[in-house]
Amino acid sequence: MTGGVTLASQLAELGLIDEYHFAVHPIIAGEGRRLFEGINLKEKFQLQLVESKVFKSGVVVLRFLKPA
């Protein structure tokens, strides 16, 4: 299976992602695989929040950069 959380997790594990965009929806899902679940990061990385936007629907989009 390629795409979705699987692809993003593999890229994160390899350290190939410099920027993350997360859309937070105001619903309770409770099921499904989490983004960083089951991966082995070589080091713990710190993300810096550089932008956030709130939409009328309640969705919040967060943009993070991984420091160089």
DSSP structure string for 1-32: --SHHHHHHHHHHTT--SEEEEEE-SS----S
Q: Examine the pLDDT at 21 and tell me if it is beyond 60.
A: yes
C-alpha 23: how far from chain center = 9
Reported confidence tier of residue 17, pLDDT bands at 50, 70, 90: confident
| pLDDT tens, residue by residue, 26-57 | 776 677 766 667 777 666 778 899 999 999 99
Residue with tokens 């993300």: 47
